[in-house]
């Protein structure tokens, strides 16, 4: 199936086109239809903008001599001879210019708006098309079919209100049946974008503040979430809290910076007035998560993976929550107990009196030659907890640096487990590494091989248990 995907697409949209992407977030936009009720203003405005640009491009090609193919259609009548007429194949004409249309500035906003709706698959089925598994392909195919419907039987590609509203009403009736559009705009602190906007998928877009001059508040970066709510769905504010919290968790695992959400966000439903809503405290931002344009695909894939694999209960979920609570503390020293609790849940189920946390942490987070040094630092940090709680540790950057190092190791462990690089039973993995370090593989019979205990061991080639019995 052909789609409007183009290799020449740019990673972001311009300031002017983004106003069309998020038309529901602004008080101005392209003229909307006056007949009937538009249930999804953002979808309507984005498709109208794209149809206008596509009409201009297609009409130029037609006026320059590009021929629209035709087919001969028989019109049968009961009491008289059949008539034959020529039917323009505007869909085929559009298909030949998919790459050109895909490069229009209003193309991505239209795809994003369609992708954020729920009933795209139903629309494709209603048009007799096969439904692709990829959401992006579904949105692009729906946009291609919608454009062909707008200019059905047309050879001059003049966009009229009647043409557009007829096609849009058909589409909206399918994709928006019983649903209302909701939009939430939240300041995202501690994040820097290389592009004006980054589409995170499923209706979530990160936008630089300068690209939203009419936003309800001032911020360097906004998280804009839009979706269509069906009857019986969770309240818009609760839905936004869950989605934005997942985004925040993924960003905190992605880099060493600690982003945060603004305490307040703004929501609107079905094109109504903006209302301020409380998201809840997420702490103050520390550092900066920088997202260059070249890393947008990596970030998008990472956030999708983290959102899909984050557990809702269990030791890993509990440790992840303690990790984030520590990040939201005002100082590293106040975060120490949170991060130690998380590490003990993952690495020291026997309890803190066992003293096994430093060694297991070093086994997982350091090379063999560096394990003793890391274990010593970790043991020193553990010994400082009571003094930190009592306020007896003198001020200084050395202690804060050690605590920050501990938090960095916790972040790395959580990230590797959620990404599938490490087994979730970190205690067993660490003990296996320590056992393999202590017990080298036996030499073949009749041959002695010197063992260098400082040489790294490939954990994939070492058995969990090796038992050898030698009888005389």
pLDDT per residue as tens digits for the range 411-442: 999 999 999 999 999 999 999 998 887 655 55
Q: At what angle do helices 41-63 and 161-175 cross, to 10 degrees?
A: 140
Q: Which two tokens stand for residue 425?
A: 């039973």
pLDDT for the residue numbered 317? 94
pLDDT per residue as tens digits for the range 136-152: 888 998 898 898 888 88
Q: Are residues 23 and 142 in the same domain?
A: yes
Higher-pLDDT residue of 36, 11: 36
- Residue 188 confidence (pLDDT) above 50: yes
Please count the residues of the chain: 472
Q: Are residues 24 and 157 in the same domain?
A: yes
Q: Among 272, 293, 308, identify where a domain stops.
A: 308
Q: Which domain holds residue 55?
A: 15-175
pLDDT for the residue numbered 366? 92
Q: Among 175, 196, 222, identify where a domain stops.
A: 175
pLDDT average, residue stretch 20-49: 57
Q: What percent of the chain has pLDDT over 70?
A: 75
Note whether residue 6 is domain-resident: no
Note whether residue 81 is domain-resident: yes
d(CA 22, CA 226): 9
122 phi, psi to nearest 5 deg = -65, -35
Q: What is the 3-state secondary structure (H, E, C) of 212-231?
A: CCCCCCCCCEEEEEEEEECC
- Asked if residues 353 and 337 have their Cβ atoms less than 8 Å apart, the reply is no
Q: Say which residue the tokens 């998201």 belong to.
A: 279
pLDDT per residue as tens digits for the range 220-268: 999 999 877 665 565 667 888 889 999 999 999 999 999 999 888 888 7
pLDDT average, residue stretch 152-172: 84
pLDDT for the residue numbered 339? 95
Note whether residue 397 is domain-resident: yes
Q: Are residues 290 and 407 in the same domain?
A: no
pLDDT per residue as tens digits for the range 63-112: 777 666 666 555 554 455 556 565 666 767 787 777 888 888 899 899 98
Q: Are residues 203 and 162 in the same domain?
A: no
Least confidently predicted of 338-342, 350-354, 387-391, 467-471: 467-471
Range from 84-88, 199-203, 314-318 that averages highest in pLDDT: 314-318
pLDDT per residue as tens digits for the range 366-417: 999 999 999 999 999 999 888 888 888 877 768 888 999 999 999 999 999 9
Query: What string of DSSP letters covers 277-334?
Result: EE-------BS-EEE-GGGHHHHHHHHHHHHHH--SSSHHHHHHHHHHHHHTSSSHHH
d(CA 206, CA 225): 9
CA distances from 449 to 441, 452, 471 (A): 10, 10, 21
pLDDT for the residue numbered 440? 57
Query: Confidence band (pLDDT; 50, 70, 90) for 28?
Result: very low
pLDDT for the residue numbered 180? 67
Q: Which two tokens stand for residue 138?
A: 């579904």
Q: Are residues 154 and 224 in the same domain?
A: no
* Average pLDDT of the residues of the chain: 78
Q: Are residues 21 and 157 in the same domain?
A: yes
Note whether residue 242 is domain-resident: yes
pLDDT for the residue numbered 348? 93
Q: Among 289, 308, 327, identify where a domain stops.
A: 308
CA distances from 308 to 200, 243, 250, 400, 420 (A): 14, 12, 11, 33, 12
CA neighbor of 280 nearest in space, from 340, 337, 344, 328: 328
pLDDT for the residue numbered 74? 56
Note whether residue 3 is domain-resident: no
pLDDT for the residue numbered 179? 65
Full-prediction pTM beyond 0.95? Answer: no
Q: Are residues 353 and 252 in the same domain?
A: no
Q: Are residues 321 and 348 in the same domain?
A: yes
Note whether residue 450 is domain-resident: no
Angle at 175 between CA 113 and CA 214, to 5 degrees: 30
360 phi, psi to nearest 5 deg = -70, -40
Q: Are residues 335 and 258 in the same domain?
A: no
Q: Are residues 152 and 21 in the same domain?
A: yes
Query: What string of DSSP letters covers 55-110?
Result: HHHHHHHHHTTPPPPEEEEEE--SSS--EEEEEE-HHHHHHTTHHHHHTSTTHHHH
pLDDT for the residue numbered 372? 93
d(CA 108, CA 81): 49
CA neighbor of 365 nearest in space, from 300, 299, 412, 302: 412
Higher-pLDDT residue of 250, 218: 250
- The count of structural domains within the chain is 3
Q: Are residues 171 and 184 in the same domain?
A: no
pLDDT average, residue stretch 109-134: 83
Note whether residue 2 is domain-resident: no
Q: Are residues 316 and 298 in the same domain?
A: no
Note whether residue 231 is domain-resident: yes
């Amino acid at each position: 199936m052909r789609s409007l995907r183009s290799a020449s697409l740019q990673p972001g949209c311009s300031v002017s086109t983004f106003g069309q992407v998020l038309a529901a977030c602004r008080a101005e936009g392209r003229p909307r239809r006056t007949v009937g009720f538009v249930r999804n203003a953002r979808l309507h405005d984005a498709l109208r903008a794209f149809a206008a640009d596509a009409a201009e491009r297609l009409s130029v090609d037609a006026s320059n001599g590009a021929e629209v193919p035709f087919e001969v259609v028989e019109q049968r009548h009961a009491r008289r001879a059949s008539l034959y007429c020529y039917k323009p194949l505007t869909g085929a004409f559009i298909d030949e210019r998919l790459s050109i249309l895909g490069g229009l500035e209003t193309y991505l906003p239209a795809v994003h708006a369609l992708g954020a709706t729920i009933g795209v698959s139903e629309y494709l089925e209603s048009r007799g098309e096969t439904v692709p598994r990829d959401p992006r392909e579904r949105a692009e195919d729906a946009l291609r079919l919608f454009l062909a419907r707008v200019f059905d039987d047309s050879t001059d590609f003049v966009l009229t209100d009647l043409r557009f509203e007829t096609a849009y009403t058909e589409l909206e009736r399918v994709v928006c049946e019983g649903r209302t559009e909701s939009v939430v705009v939240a300041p995202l602190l501690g994040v820097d974008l290389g592009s004006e906007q980054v589409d995170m998928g499923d209706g979530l877009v990160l936008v630089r503040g300068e690209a939203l001059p009419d936003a309800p508040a001032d911020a360097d970066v906004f998280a804009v979430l839009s979706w269509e709510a069906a009857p019986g769905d969770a309240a818009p504010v609760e839905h936004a809290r869950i989605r934005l919290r997942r985004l925040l968790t993924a960003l905190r695992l992605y880099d060493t910076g600690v982003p945060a959400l603004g305490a307040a966000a703004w929501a609107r439903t079905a094109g109504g007035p903006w209302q301020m809503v409380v998201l809840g405290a997420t702490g103050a931002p520390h550092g900066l998560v920088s997202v260059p344009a070249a890393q947008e695909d990596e970030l998008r894939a990472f956030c999708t993976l983290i959102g899909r694999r984050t557990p809702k209960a269990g030791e890993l979920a509990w440790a992840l929550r303690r990790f984030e609570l520590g990040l939201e503390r005002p100082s590293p020293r106040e975060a120490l107990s949170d991060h130690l609790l998380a590490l003990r849940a993952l690495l020291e189920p026997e309890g803190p009196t066992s003293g096994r946390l430093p060694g297991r942490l070093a086994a997982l987070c350091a090379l063999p030659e560096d394990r003793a040094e890391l274990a010593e630092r970790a043991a020193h940090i553990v010994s400082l907890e009571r003094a930190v709680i009592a306020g007896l540790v003198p001020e200084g950057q050395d202690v804060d640096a050690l605590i920050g190092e501990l938090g960095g190791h916790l972040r790395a462990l959580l990230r590797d487990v959620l990404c599938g690089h490490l087994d979730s039973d970190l205690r067993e993995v660490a003990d296996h590494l320590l056992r393999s370090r202590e017990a080298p593989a036996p030499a073949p019979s009749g041959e002695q091989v010197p063992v260098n205990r400082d040489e790294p061991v490939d954990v994939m080639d070492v058995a969990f248990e090796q038992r050898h019995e030698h009888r005389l």
